[in-house]
Structures are given as structure tokens and as C-alpha cells.
Amino acid sequence: MPDTFYRFRPDGHPETGLGPSNAVPASCFTTDDHTESRHIVFETNDGSITSGVWECAPILVEIDAYSVTELMTVLSGSLTLTDAFGKKESFTAGDTFLVPKGAKVTLEITESLRKYYMIVK
């Protein structure tokens, strides 16, 4: 395990910014804008923990079982989550929330979103 600390920057790497990402299928984008980018700040050698900055244009995705546990803090934009029971909640800049592994959710980014994330597999 590294013996240091890591700074998160909302614009990604100080020299290169955010790079391409392809976590979202093209069919899930709800506008002509298919922008998706990220910068990984930290990842364990075995990939069991990953953290960084992610940005995505508006999407709508139904997820039968969230594949990881993810803690997120919204930096800009907004998203709405709906769980299997119909509970619906919107999140905007400054909000922090967690989606546990296995959760059935509908995720709708309603305004291009930028977030910090930490994923535990």
C-alpha cells in the first residue's frame, strides 16, 4: 500500500485534465452530447478500490444490480436516482451519497455531471 496521500482536483490532472472514458453505452445518452471523461486519482494494484473525477453528459440508465459500492460527491450538474421501491432523490453540487453493490437503481443525469467518486468492488 502506498504511504502517501492524493489530491483530488475538480478538473482532473493538473497538466492533462480529464481523459476519455467509456463506462456508459452510447444508447444511454439522452442528448446529442456523448461526452464522458475521467481522471483516476488512485487505484489499488488489484483494482478493488478506484477513485477519481468523472464527467458525463445527460444519460438515463436502468441498473438491475449496481456492480460496485460507490461513494460520490457531485461537483457540478445534477442527477436523479430512483430505487427499486420508487424512492426518488435528486443530487446537485455539494451532495454526497452512496450506492451499495447490488442496488437496483435508475440513474438519470439531468444536467452534465462532474463528480468525485470512490468505487469498492
CATH classification at residue 44:
2.60.120.10
The cell for 91 is 443530487
The residue among 121, 119, 110, 116 whose CA lies nearest residue 81 is 110
Strand partners of residue 98: 71
Instruction: Flag whether 14 is in a domain.
Output: no
Give the side-chain half-sphere CA count within 13 A for 88.
5
- Counting the structural domains of the chain, the total is 1
Q: pLDDT at position 92, please? A: 98
State the pTM of this model.
Answer: 0.95
Residue 69 main-chain phi, psi, to 5 deg: -95, 130
How many angstroms separate the CA atoms of 30 and 115, rounded? 19
Evaluate whether residue 35 is within a structural domain. Answer: yes
Unique residue bearing C-alpha cell 456523448:
34
Please indicate, yes or no, if residue 41 is contained in any of the structural domains: yes
Tell me if 34 is assigned to some domain. Answer: yes
Which pLDDT score, from 0 to 100, does residue 1 have? 55
Give domain status of residue 2, yes or no: no
C-alpha cell at 66: 449496481
Compute the CA torsion angle 19, 7, 114, 72 (nearest 10 deg): 120
Domain around 90: 19-120
| pLDDT in single tens digits along all 121 residues of the chain | 567 999 999 999 999 999 999 999 999 999 999 999 999 999 999 999 999 999 999 999 999 999 999 999 999 999 999 999 999 999 999 999 999 999 999 999 999 999 999 999 9
Write down the pLDDT at residue 2: 66
pLDDT of residue 3: 79
